[in-house]
């Protein structure tokens, strides 16, 4: 329509009419032939379907038994209807509709991608994993290598068994399992003790060089001081043990096993934790300087306890290397807000102290310098209310600020009421 309009405008507005698309209805015979052909093709697919890992194979024997029979019966029943001499178009439509539920279930039970190569990789890897025992002697592997390979096999098995796994996911799973197998084979302790010692020394030296060149700190890509130090110390001990005269399979395996825990913990920060660390240091300084009491500049016990809890939570976040930038910023915001709330509590406490002193020094009466009983009572109630906020331990920054405003206004009103 838009094309016709464009041509009309381009050629001086000469009139052109749209040609209507005419859809000719099919005859009964055409519908019948089409349905017979469709049923024949579907029956061929159902008859040839079998259990396996190829695209179009059934996932399980149960699916093959139930889904195949159900759809096949529906197809045969539809064929009987369609082959009637006096069949109508309405009956053909109903026959086609009867295939919907069993047909949908049948196709849903088939793999959408070829998993045969992945299955072969899993079978081979599982066999290797089974015959290679964990231990500290020749032909065996250390526990961490065994665990890592078992985990890789499990992940590949999950991909193989997922009905939604497409060709790219299958290909990726094969590549990942292949690499895991290479790593596992390389971890098998060689029959020669000399080779085992040489390989171990090379590994320890490489890891020690890596750790020594890494940076300890809270920046992105840097390592927590503690985990870096722990791994470096463990590597130093392992290096000394590996170079001892008369080292045995068992002794060297024990040395390598001792590296597993500190090596697992040796992970760099994925986000910049320095701003969070700076805020924690600020909070710790404020906490250390705070004195518990009700005098000016002092804080109630619950306020100090609440700040300490916030600092502990922030420290946990600070040392979590896998924390994303968003979560790191959120942790910094929380500890920063805790500091603001703590400081607001000090301001509120000072205001309470001044207000109580003012109230105590102002006599109720009608003479000059005195206040009415009503003004005194209103001021006392305001002081009592904000004390609850200060002493709560769960009051937010906004609640603290609202309490400060409330008592400031009450103090101003009380002072204005003095005769």
**Whole-model pTM above 0.85?**
no
Minimal CA–CA distance to 149: which of 185, 201, 194? 185
pLDDT tens digits in sequence order for the chain, 419 residues long = 333 333 333 334 444 455 566 666 788 888 888 988 998 998 888 888 888 899 988 888 887 778 888 988 999 998 999 898 888 988 889 989 999 999 898 888 888 999 999 999 999 999 999 999 998 888 899 888 899 999 999 999 999 999 899 999 999 999 999 999 998 998 898 988 889 899 999 999 999 999 999 999 999 999 999 999 999 999 999 999 999 988 888 888 888 888 989 998 999 999 999 999 999 999 999 999 999 998 999 999 999 999 999 999 999 999 999 999 999 999 999 999 999 999 999 999 999 999 999 999 999 999 999 999 999 999 999 999 999 999 998 999 999 999 999 999 999 999 999 98
Output the CA–CA distances (angstroms, integers) from residue 113 to 61, 168, 191, 418, in the order listed: 18, 9, 42, 88
Q: How far is CA 108 from the centre of its chain?
A: 30
Are domains 28-108 and 116-187 of this chain identical in fold? yes
- The answer to whether residues 351 and 402 touch, using CB atoms and an 8 Å cutoff, is no
- The answer to whether residues 344 and 397 touch, using CB atoms and an 8 Å cutoff, is yes
Minimal CA–CA distance to 335: which of 389, 286, 400? 286
CATH number for the region 116-187 comes to 1.20.1270.90
- The answer to whether residues 58 and 49 touch, using CB atoms and an 8 Å cutoff, is yes
Residue 223 phi, psi (nearest 5): -115, 145
SS (H, E, C) 224-260: CHHHHHHHHHHHHHHHHHHCCCCCCHHHHHHHHHCCH
- The answer to whether residues 148 and 184 touch, using CB atoms and an 8 Å cutoff, is yes
Instruction: Name the strand (E) or helix (H) holding 213.
Output: helix 193-213
> What is the domain partition of the chain in residue ranges?
28-108, 116-187, 193-265, 286-417
**Whether domain 193-265 has CATH 3.40.1340:** no
Out of 1.20.1270, 1.10.10, 1.10.3470, 1.10.490, which CATH number does the structure's domain 28-108 have?
1.20.1270
Question: What confidence score (pLDDT) does residue 5 get?
Answer: 32
Question: What confidence score (pLDDT) does residue 20 get?
Answer: 62
């Amino acid at each position: 329509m838009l094309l016709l309009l464009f041509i009309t405008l381009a050629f001086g507005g000469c009139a052109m009419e749209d040609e209507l698309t005419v859809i000719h209805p099919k005859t009964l015979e055409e519908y019948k032939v089409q349905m017979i052909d469709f049923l024949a093709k579907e029956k061929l697919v159902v008859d040839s379907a079998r259990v396996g890992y190829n695209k179009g194979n059934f996932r399980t024997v149960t699916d093959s038994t139930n889904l195949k029979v159900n759809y096949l019966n529906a197809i045969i029943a539809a064929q009987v209807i369609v082959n009637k001499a006096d069949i109508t178009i309405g009956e053909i439509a109903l026959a086609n509709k009867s295939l919907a539920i069993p047909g949908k279930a049948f196709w849903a039970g088939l793999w959408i991608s070829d998993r045969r190569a992945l299955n072969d990789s899993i079978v081979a890897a599982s066999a290797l994993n089974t015959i290679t025992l964990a231990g500290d002697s020749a032909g065996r592997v250390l526990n961490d290598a065994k665990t890592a390979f078992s985990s890789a096999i499990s992940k590949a098995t999950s991909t193989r068994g997922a009905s939604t796994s497409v060709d790219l996911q299958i290909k990726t799973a094969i590549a990942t399992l292949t690499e895991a197998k290479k790593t596992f084979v390389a971890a098998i302790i060689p029959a020669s003790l000399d080779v085992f010692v040489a390989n171990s020394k090379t590994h320890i030296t490489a890891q020690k060089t890596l750790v020594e060149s890494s940076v300890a700190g809270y920046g992105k890509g840097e390592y927590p001081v503690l985990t870096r130090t722990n791994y470096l110390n463990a590597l130093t001990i392992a290096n000394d043990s590996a170079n001892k005269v008369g080292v045995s399979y068992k002794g060297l395996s024990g040395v390598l096993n001792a590296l597993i825990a500190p090596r697992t913990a040796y992970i760099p920060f994925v986000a910049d934790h320095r701003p969070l660390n700076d805020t924690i240091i600020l909070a710790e300084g404020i906490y250390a300087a705070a004195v518990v009491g009700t005098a000016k500049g002092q804080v109630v016990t619950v306020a100090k306890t609440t700040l300490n809890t916030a600092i502990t939570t922030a420290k946990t976040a600070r040392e979590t290397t896998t924390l994303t930038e968003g979560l790191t910023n959120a942790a910094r915001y929380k500890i920063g807000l805790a500091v603001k709330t703590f400081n607001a509590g000090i301001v509120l406490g000072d205001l309470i102290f001044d207000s109580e002193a003012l109230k105590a020094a102002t006599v109720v009466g009608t003479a000059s310098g005195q206040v009415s009983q009503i003004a005194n009572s209103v001021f006392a109630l305001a002081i009592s209310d904000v004390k609850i906020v200060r002493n709560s331990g769960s009051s937010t920054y906004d609640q603290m600020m609202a309490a400060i405003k409330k008592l400031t206004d009450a103090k101003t009103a009380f002072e204005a009421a003095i005769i």
